[in-house]
Structure 1
Amino acid sequence: MKNFAVLLFLCLFVITSFAQKKNGTVYSEHETIDQTKALWEAVKNGDKEKVKTFFADSITVVRNGNDWQTTAENFGNNSGWWKANFVNLKVEDAPGAYADAIEYGDGNIWVQDWLMLTGINEETGINLDLHIHNLYAFNEEGKIGLIIQYFNNNVFEDIRDAKTTRENGKVYINHPYIATVRKLVNAYAAEDLEKMKSFYDESAQFSALDHGWDESIDLVTRMGYVKDNFANAKDIHFKQIGYPDCIFYELNNGFVVYSWWEYSFTREESGEKVVMPLMLSHSFNDDGKIVQEMAYYSTNHFE
């Protein structure tokens, strides 16, 4: 049995070895790579005439699976869109990536690169942060006859949409969710922890400036902090500033209440009275429970 296993392994090794076939050479430095870099430099500078010189008269363009035929003249003229629409445009290798030139056994040469395009759309102010993968097929004259590109199109849809005017829901000056927020604030002022908890969904998340802008805590942790606050403060009071807004966002199909307050309390130990501005944001689920609370205030008041 042992000899059979060894024989089987040797057979598989021989089969695998014969299955390998070299079909060309890969270069990290090549004149065609230099040409693609010069092409993007011309695109960045808005040099449409220079862009045309890198392409064959007839070109096949494939973008995210969609292909069409065009000419070097049209491609070059269209490349001016980048310079006309973006400021501080940069074209660089994506972090950790570099271009390859592949010379296949039949003599065909392809270049593939992974680029990062950054800039600011001048009309909308949208920041471009685009990863793009390009493949270029060169003909016998050293011209690009086929270019294949893959990228996420979302940023271009955002730019297109930003040029239009669109409503995204409704604003309510009176709404049951506004009443919920007022009841929640009143429960805090009354130091009624159980009443406060009744307004939140069990999965609610909380964030505030003193936790870090990109961090959040869960309901149990939040209630622990509130309990500590109750132990160290008295005469808690909230004065409404202006009026809350309840906004229904059509895009996310959800309700958010924004409210502004003057929050005051007296420190239990020192007797010092603290008065501070506070903004609250509460997001609601379909059951009318708060699923996210965000608090904005100056942390200096707690030092």
Structure 2
Amino acid sequence: MKNLLILVFTLFAGTTLAQNVLKNGTIYKEHPYITIVNNSTDLFIKQDWEGLYKLYADTAKFYDPSSPTKISLADQKKGWADIADKWEQIKVVKVGYPDALEYDKDPFTVQSWWKVTAVNKKTKKTATFHLVQFDEFNKDGKIMVEISYYDQSPLMEASK
């Protein structure tokens, strides 16, 4: 019985150690798509809307906490204009560095982290929040999906 237990334990330990490593893609610290994401932030700060629009596919979709559904590029353009109308002294600081994720079966994605500060034009109150953003690229190197996660409460408080 003791030998049987040793044999079973040895087989179990051997199969555990013999598992294969499966790679899902490659992570880049520097990549042209990271440059596009950085440029999109710079163009947003400068309110260079025409330059910003050129980085996105015509069929681009946007997701963020302010809308429960996907947003088209046309609607996002209106949202950017609304931000420019209501906020000033907008500062966006990169936190760490973006990662470009080249997945084996999923779209090429750049994930980035930002600290955003803006002053409400009406109340003169400052909103500060952290944002994580995921940009998926199409084969033409255009952003086709942009997903942003952030806490909206600082913006709502600064608007009061």
TM-score norm. by structure 1 comes to 0.44
1:242, 1:300 → 2: CA distance?
A: 24
Instruction: Find the residue that maps to 1:166 and give its secondary structure.
Output: coil
Residue 242 of structure 1: aligned partner: 96
3-state SS in 1 of match to 2:82:
helix
The CA deviation at 1:180 is 0.3
1:216 match: secondary structure: strand
Counterpart amino acid of 1:292? V
- Give secondary structure in 2 for the equivalent of 1:221: helix
Match of 1:265 among 100, 104, 118: 118
SS at match of 1:207: strand
Does residue 170 (structure 1) correspond to residue 26 (structure 2)? The answer is yes
- The AA in structure 1 aligned to 2:103 is Y
1:191 aligns with 2:47: yes
Write the letter of the residue equivalent to 1:249.
Y
By how many angstroms is 1:302 displaced?
Answer: 2.3
Q: Which residue of 1 aligns with 2:5?
A: none
Q: Which of 37, 40, 43 is 1:181 aligned to?
A: 37
Percent identity between the two aligned chains:
27
Measured against aligned partners, the alpha-carbon deviations of 1:164-202 in whole angstroms (never above 9, x if no partner) come to 631011000000000000000011111111111010000
What SS does the corresponding residue of 1:227 show, helix, strand or coil? helix
Hey, what does 1:40 align to over in structure 2? none
Q: In the alignment, which residue of structure 2 is the partner of 1:218?
A: 72
Q: For residues 28-53 of structure 1, give each alpha carbon's deviation from its aligned partner in whole angstroms, at most 9, with x where no partner exists.
A: xxxxxxxxxxxxxxxxxxxxxxxxxx
Other-structure match for 2:136: 283
Normalising to structure 2: TM-score of the pair?
A: 0.83
CA distance in 2, matches of 1:300, 1:266: 14
Q: Which of 295, 298, 301 does residue 148 from structure 2 map onto?
A: 295
Q: 2-side partners of 1:280 and 1:294: how far apart? A: 6
CA-to-aligned-CA distance 1:125-171 (integer Å, 9 cap, x gap): xxxxxxxxxxxxxxxxxxxxxxxxxxxxxxxxxxxxxx863101100
Give the counterpart of 1:274 among 83, 102, 127: 127
Which structure has the larger Rg?
Answer: 1
> Could you tell me which residue of structure 1 aligns to residue 58 of structure 2?
202
Stretches of structure 1 that go unaligned for 5 or more consecutive residues are 1-162
- Distance in 2 (CA, whole Å) between partners of 1:216 and 1:302 is 21
RMSD (Å) for aligned C-alpha atoms = 1.2
Count of aligned residue pairs for this structure pair: 138
Where does structure 1 differ by over 2 angstroms across 4 or more consecutive aligned residues? none
Residue deviations 1:83-138, cap 9 Å, x none? xxxxxxxxxxxxxxxxxxxxxxxxxxxxxxxxxxxxxxxxxxxxxxxxxxxxxxxx
